[in-house]
Homo-oligomer: A and B are copies of this chain.
């Protein structure tokens, strides 16, 4: 896309009311716009990042049998009353609203209850199990405070998969598959080295749940990492009993601040029992369906990448989720140089490479600053200086490494790896 056409603009200063680095950088670079505290519009550049993250998640969820659907945002209260989660004293972050006839509705903060209720239409026999529906959509949490930018929004974009199994054995197999899929997702996004599968409190029905925690100085969680085994433990279960059980020595653990980017839960019949989601087993007996839930914060992941991978100049996107692979820049008034840049833009596009072409009538300083702020992994400059140096200048955003290569070899450089 030509940058002159992009309706967003960069800005030098972050708004004074934004405390978090991720919101400051994403606003300055034209990725998000604040509507209210914790509510951000995703601008075209951010939609590209979120779509890229969602595509990776979708791919991995489909590979383990997930089926994408689209739950409603507005929720009827009936199933939430059955599980005792409708009351604001029990769940303190509901947004609620009502129909004209005063029927109360909730804005979904998660979907265990409506999913369990809906699945009563589709599950009656063991032959209908297992089932793995999932949503990729926005949900709503009425947080008391919203100071972490898109790392903790009041309206945020996530993936939530719910598993419906015959029993704990069938569930456990899928739970492990989901854990592996999560590991692959964070690797593909570029957070593999800093994200740990972390033992956390399991709630009522299982000893542990697992969180996926990414090391981040501004994170709200504290985890303890055993680097030898790769095991991490959330502070909430960091005690002698758990350490003994996991075979870990206290003095090898490193304490880190972290952000929870995903979690997986065994729910057993916590929701299926009160909602009456049962099936007839192979032996002809009525049984409660064994449930699990598996969440990943998509807009939070965008925030975590910005928070942990940016530098003093701006954002540094990993290639697989970057809005564009290449930021193509050209400088100066030389028409031949501009035409060369434009030709290269079309050649790269025709080769299927995503390119943002800064065709604006601005000086090199502003264009270079914008490129650093916006964070595409490769900056390609076509200028009189680059031609003198042998063609085009390719700079990697993360390392700063520079290469000059012949213009005719640029497409091959990007398509042949």
Mark A residues whose CB is within 8 Å of B.
5-9, 11, 33, 35-37, 39-44, 46-47, 50, 65, 67-76, 95-100, 103, 105, 107, 114, 118-119, 121-122, 128, 131-133, 138, 140, 142-144, 154-155, 157
How far, in angstroms, from A189 to B121 measured CA to CA in the complex? 30
Q: Would you mind naming 11 contact pairs between A and B with Cβ atoms under 8 Å apart?
A: A7-B132, A35-B114, A40-B72, A42-B69, A47-B69, A70-B157, A72-B138, A72-B155, A73-B140, A74-B95, A74-B140
Closest to A71 in B: B41
How far, in angstroms, from A7 to B9 measured CA to CA in the complex? 45
* Inter-subunit contact A47/B72 (CB<8 Å): no
**A122-B7, A140-B73 in contact; A67/B41 too (CB < 8 A)?**
no
- What are the residues of chain B within 8 A of A40 when measuring CB–CB? 72
* Inter-subunit contact A73/B105 (CB<8 Å): no
Shortest CB distance A289–B (Å): 12
In this complex, which of A35, A40, A65, A132 has the most chain B Cβ atoms within 10 angstroms of its Cβ? Answer: A35
How far, in angstroms, from A46 to B143 measured CA to CA in the complex? 32
Closest to A92 in B: B100
Copies in the complex: 2
* Inter-subunit contact B7/A133 (CB<8 Å): yes
Shortest CB distance A72–B (Å): 5
15 further contact pairs, Cβ within 8 A, besides A39-B72, A39-B105, A72-B138? A5-B65, A5-B67, A9-B121, A35-B72, A36-B99, A37-B99, A41-B114, A42-B70, A44-B133, A47-B70, A73-B138, A73-B140, A97-B97, A100-B142, A100-B144
Residue from the list B36, B46, B131, B157 in contact with A103, Cβ < 8 A: B36
In this complex, which of A42, A65, A70, A96 has the most chain B Cβ atoms within 10 angstroms of its Cβ? Answer: A70
* Inter-subunit contact A122/B70 (CB<8 Å): no
* Inter-subunit contact B47/A105 (CB<8 Å): no
How far, in angstroms, from A107 to B73 measured CA to CA in the complex? 10
* Inter-subunit contact A35/B74 (CB<8 Å): yes
Closest to A133 in B: B7
**A65-B5, A69-B43, A114-B35 in contact; A154/B95 too (CB < 8 A)?**
no
* Inter-subunit contact A47/B68 (CB<8 Å): yes
Residue from the list B42, B98, B118, B144 in contact with A33, Cβ < 8 A: B118
A-B residue pairs, 5 tightest by C-beta: A7-B131, A42-B70, A36-B76, A95-B97, A44-B67
How far, in angstroms, from A292 to B207 measured CA to CA in the complex? 57
**A69-B47, A100-B142 in contact; A76/B35 too (CB < 8 A)?**
yes
Shortest CB distance A316–B (Å): 23
